[in-house]
Each structure stands twice: as structure tokens, then as C-alpha cells.
Amino acid sequence: MMKTVLIILLCLLLLAILILFLPIGKRKKQGFYGLAAYSYAHRGLHDIERGLPENSLRAFRLAAEYGYGAELDVHLSKDGRLVVMHDESLLRTAGVDRKIADCTTQELDVLRLQGTDEKIPYLEEVLPIFEGRTPLVIEIKPVGSKNRAVLTEQVCALLDRFPKLQYCIESFDPFVLLWLRKHRPEVIRGQLAANFIKDRSGLRLITAFLLTHMCLNLLTFPHFIAYKFEDRSCLGAVVSRRVWGVQEFNWTLRTAQDVKQSKKNGALPIFELCRPDL
């Protein structure tokens, strides 16, 4: 009991420090580096009922054609390729019970997405679709600390080859943002978060608290936050947007009404299974 009380008190102290002393600085939201004019299709403009699986090249092309940006996730394969896929496992989307980090390019290339003819794309195949057109929100998905630095470094190196592409990088892992702040401070970086206290998924209480309220923003100084829409009233999110003026993205919005509400609140919507303009 005493241990739990001490953990709670420590968490409250950290949150107080975050509120009072965090020098993120009030960001200029207007324009937000050119990204604010767009809504973002989550994993592309996918609709499996129409044969358009998530994270497929067709879904990304369709998003760009309709004038949307897109949000995508990047993993590192066993042989160092940048794989565009949401899940760490291939089971749900490709029907193979293996992790991307354990697969080579040769093994990935024979797989298809959700029973269609669409292959698993690599980041270098997706970036040309959006260069000079609409922006990308790129989520870094490291395997803990195992490949955090090499994954983030390779993503940045590839992005350097597309100078006309507008993009920002986000991650649930604050140490990805810390790497970016140290090595690539010019890259627009954002902290992904949700209410992990409500849904801890095996996290320790103090870890859930720190991630929920983004307490490591004290070290990473994000340009934006990307917060789960249903959890946006969490104190850490409120402090970030109201006290420090940090731009917010909301995920994942599945109705036009939620998209409208998100925009009304000043956030940038990441949506799926709906069309914001319809």
C-alpha cells in the first residue's frame, strides 16, 4: 500500500513539474509547417470490402489522389528494410504468424495483404506517391531499445532523398523523439499517447502514468502531440495544447462527425472508414 502511495505521489510531482516548468515553448499553430491544411488517412484510404487493404500502395495512392495526407507505420525487417505495416506481427494482415523483425525481404515479398493481390510495401515505395502532393505522418515502430536508433536513422536518411515531401515523425516511444531531438532537430517530431492508465496492457503503473501524461516531453520537446480521440481530456493532453500551445493530432476517427469535432477543437484528424469531406 505504501509503495503504491509513493508511486502516485511521484507521478503527481512529475506532472506538476511538467505543467510548471516544461519549456516546450508556444508553437505557432498557424500553418503548422504546411501540415495543418490536411486530414490524414489512417494507413491510407483503405476499405477491405472494396479490396483495398490497409497500408497497401493502392490505398496510399487513393489517399493522395483525393487530396488527403496519410499516416503510416514503419518497422525494420531482419535484413534492414523499412517495412510499412501497423502490427509487429504479420498474422492479422498477411496470415503468417511471424514478426516483421524476424523476416527477410525475400520472405516478405511473397506475402499478400488481407487476401488480396496487394504486396507489403516498403517505405521507399510509398514516399514517391506523396512527394510534391500531400503530407505524411510517419510513425516509428521500434522493437523496444533493440533497433530504435538504427530504425529512426534509416527512416531519416531515406526521407532526405525526397526533398519535396512534407512529413512529420511520431512515436509512442519517447526515446525515438529524444534521438530525433539530438541527431535530427530539424525534423518535426510528435509524441503519440493515449490513456494507458485506463488500459495498461501490462505496463507498470508509473510507466502508464508517464506515457499517458507525456512526462518525458521534459526531455524531448515535441512539436506536436498525437492523442487518442476518446482520451483527449487527459490532463497531459490538455496541458500540452492549452498551456504550451502544442499542435495536436487526434486518432483514429471513424465518423465524419468526430472529424468535424476534432477540427473544431483545433486538432488535425487521422481518420479511417469514412470520408471527412462527404
- Rounded CA-CA distance 101/83 in Å is 9
Instruction: Label the pairing between strands 69-76 and 82-84.
Output: antiparallel
Lookup: cell for 69: 495526407
Radius of gyration of the chain (CA): 19
The neighbour count for residue 88, using CB atoms within 10 Å, is 14
Whole-Å CA distances, 87 to 28, 58, 115: 33, 19, 16
**Does the residue 209 lie in any domain?**
yes
pLDDT in tens, 50-67: 999 999 999 999 999 999
**In CATH, what number is assigned to the domain containing residue 64?**
3.20.20.190
Lowest-pLDDT range of 10-19, 127-136, 137-146, 193-202:
10-19
Do the domain assignments include residue 105?
no
In a domain, 145, yes or no: yes
Number of domains in the chain: 1
CA distance 221 to 204: 24
pLDDT of 23 over the 50 cut = no
Torsion of CA 150, 153, 158, 161, to 10 degrees: -150
Q: How far apart are CA 91 and CA 89, in angstroms?
A: 6
Is 22 contained in some domain?
Answer: no
Q: Classify residue 152: in a domain, yes or no.
A: yes
- Whether 223 is a known active-site residue: answer no
Within a domain: 264: yes
Confirm whether 121 is domain-assigned. Answer: no
CB 104 within 8 A of CB 142: no
The enclosing H or E element of 258 equals helix 256-264
Q: What is the pTM of this model?
A: 0.91
> Lowest mean pLDDT: which of 26-30, 77-81, 105-109, 172-176?
26-30
93 occurs within a structural domain: no
Instruction: Spot the catalytic one: 42, 75, 213, 223.
Output: 42
Residues of the domain holding 172: 30-74+133-271
Q: Give catalytic status of residue 75 as yes or no.
A: no
